[in-house]
Chains A and B, each alone.
Chain A
Amino acid sequence: MTARKAATYTGIPAWVYAVAAAGALLVVLPLAAMVAKVNWANFIPLVTSESSLTALGLSLRTSAASTVLCIILGVPLALVLARGSFPGQRVLRSLVLLPLVLPPVVGGIALLYTFGRQGLLGRTLEVAGLQIAFSTTAVVLAQTFVALPFLVVSLEGALRIAGPRYEAVAATLGASPSTVLRRVTLPLVLPGLASGAVLSFARSLGEFGATLTFAGSLQGVTRTLPLEIYLQRETDADAAVALSLVLVAVAVAVVALAYRSPRAGRPATVERTTTAPAASGAVR
């Protein structure tokens, strides 16, 4: 795909390149500074210490769980937002996307007053023998809260671009709405769904504020990798840097997965739907 671009006129003024370079440096330079600070001699022992591995394992498990939860809840949400028509649709969209702009700590407090012991639902749940706050479940809930909008935004964009025409044809061919969803809509927006899921996973993996507020920092139960890094920074800077590098590596892998070249044997029509959701996810 890269070799394809011939010398077509771009219309970009030279100074734009200079400002763009400054922008890129702002992102790349701190990463480089961090990599330069890594204690390579002790890297393996630092990263494989018991507390680190526990935190990494917890992070991966909770992020995977919250990604699944995001897909289960986010696909119907995106569908009704993109295709449905009901009063309050615009308001619902704004509210669902709110966690994108909300400070995660605020999200954590909101969750605490919902599921916490004194919360809106917490009291009822406690009667039922369920205690959510400060448990692994709370970690998953906090991550889902902040990551859900990523999936919804990606998928809603894909659904809008794909348009309802294939669904209309499928219906006139005799397919029920559920069949249309399973055999037409979801396959058509699969690239958008995939990139949305990957972004949700990445957001879950990096979640800190809401988790700390709502779930606390209990080793093996709620202390995910970002919390572990923050804790280590106080006592063992080398460990914090090493673990940060692990998170960066995971993030790079995730981003590479989400923004990989869409030309991987997919038909042309689906291809078009791939780029836009990725772009709308990137707006954040």
Chain B
Amino acid sequence: MTFVVRAAVDQRGFDLSLSVGPAETVAVMGPNGAGKSTLLNVIAGLLHPDSGTAELDGRTLFDLTAGRGSWTAPHHRGTALLAQEPLLFPHLSVLDNVAFGPRSAGASNAAARKSAEHWLAEVEATELRARRPAELSGGQAQRVAVARALAADPGLLLLDEPMAALDIHAAPLLRRLLKRVLAGRRAIIITHDVLDALMLADRVVILENGRISEDGPAREVLQRPRSRFAAGLAGLNFLAGDITEHGLRSGGLNLYGQHHDLPGPLAAGQPGVAVFPPSAVSVFLSEAHGSPRNAFPVTITDLEPHGDQIRVRAGESGRLSADITPAAAADLGLVTGTRVYFVIKAGAVAIYPS
């Protein structure tokens, strides 16, 4: 009893396959335009892919392999969609909104309302039952929308950045609620927030340019990212290149580092990545000397506040960053365009095959 989708949308360069276990929550992350919403729309039946198949609990959602052309209408799929905005039906009370799914499934009015009461209680919104959506705050409305989606008893719950439109006070509340209701439930959640991936999801899928670039347990993907996007999420510097005897060669850079927790050294020549935190990068105005260190001349492209530190971005398109104290930044007189040396201890650079 699993969910499997394989789909291609030629016009958007979208082509991937994904499976989700019966009680698994998968977080889908990726840059804007990577195809995250396309994925959900294809699964929900709101977008017709050019080819592919999808199956949910033994039922075919679509099968567009050559010769066949089966297509299940959205309302027969059991894939409830929760969008960024709650989209509660403005002409219905909160209770009737939540009862909409059961009613549409053919339940009697009384049974539908009973189910709606249950799910409203589940999201701690019973006291809102008689209100109109216009009388709810953003957080309340999204809570009701969660109840409405769950009341439809979906085989697969699709969440499209459910926290994105909420203010900073409402988001943690909803995150806790989702953690509770998503436990033991099959769901796909699109998010931009690492916290969501770590808290809510069993697995993280990184989507880039319509294709899956990484797929694994959330913690692992963030600790050992193999894509630039995942490294960015984890706040790590990321260089891809070829593994050498002592490290990694990436373009003109020759990096010394640790071949990470592997049985024995890696064979040189294979493609690999080097990852290191910005806090491990020091900034000097002249080339420093000392033990095995990596020192690269770079030009500063950006300076921005980052917590109580200053994040110094440098290199082509600012792809390397260093975190230093504001005092250090002032002492060095750093401005955009300054030529500096980024110095990284070899021990802080993790190198592994990509």
Contacts and interface: CB of A to CB of B under 8 A. Distances in A.
Interface of A: 165-166, 168-177, 179-180, 183-184, 187-188, 190, 267-270
Given A168-B46, A267-B134, A173 B90 contact: no
A187 B89 CA distance: 9
B279 to A, nearest CB: 43
Interface string B43-84: 011100000000000000000000000000111111111010
B91 A173 contact: no
Interface of B: 44-46, 73-81, 83, 85, 87, 89-92, 100-101, 104-105, 132-134, 148-149, 152, 154, 158
Given A183-B100, A269-B133, A174 B78 contact: yes
5 contacts: A171-B73, A172-B79, A174-B78, A187-B89, A267-B132
A267 B90 contact: yes
B56 to A, nearest CB: 13
B79 A179 contact: no
Name the residue among B73, B91, B158 with the largest chain A CB count within 10 angstroms.
B91
B45 A171 contact: yes
Nearest to B82: A169
B81 A174 contact: no
Contacts of A175: 75, 100, 104
Given A172-B74, A172-B158, A173-B149, A268 B90 contact: yes
Contacts of A270: 90-91
Nearest to B153: A174
A91 B100 CA distance: 37
A269 B90 contact: yes
B81 A188 contact: no
Contacts of B77: 172
A174 B148 CA distance: 11
Top 6 nearest A-B pairs (CB, nearest first) are A175-B104, A267-B90, A267-B134, A269-B90, A171-B74, A172-B81
Contact of B87 (A166, A183, A267, A268): A166
Nearest to A180: B75
A170 B87 CA distance: 10
A165 B90 CA distance: 13
A173 B148 contact: yes
Given A171-B46, A171-B75, A172-B81, 10 more contacts: A165-B83, A166-B87, A171-B73, A171-B74, A172-B80, A173-B104, A173-B152, A175-B100, A176-B104, A179-B75
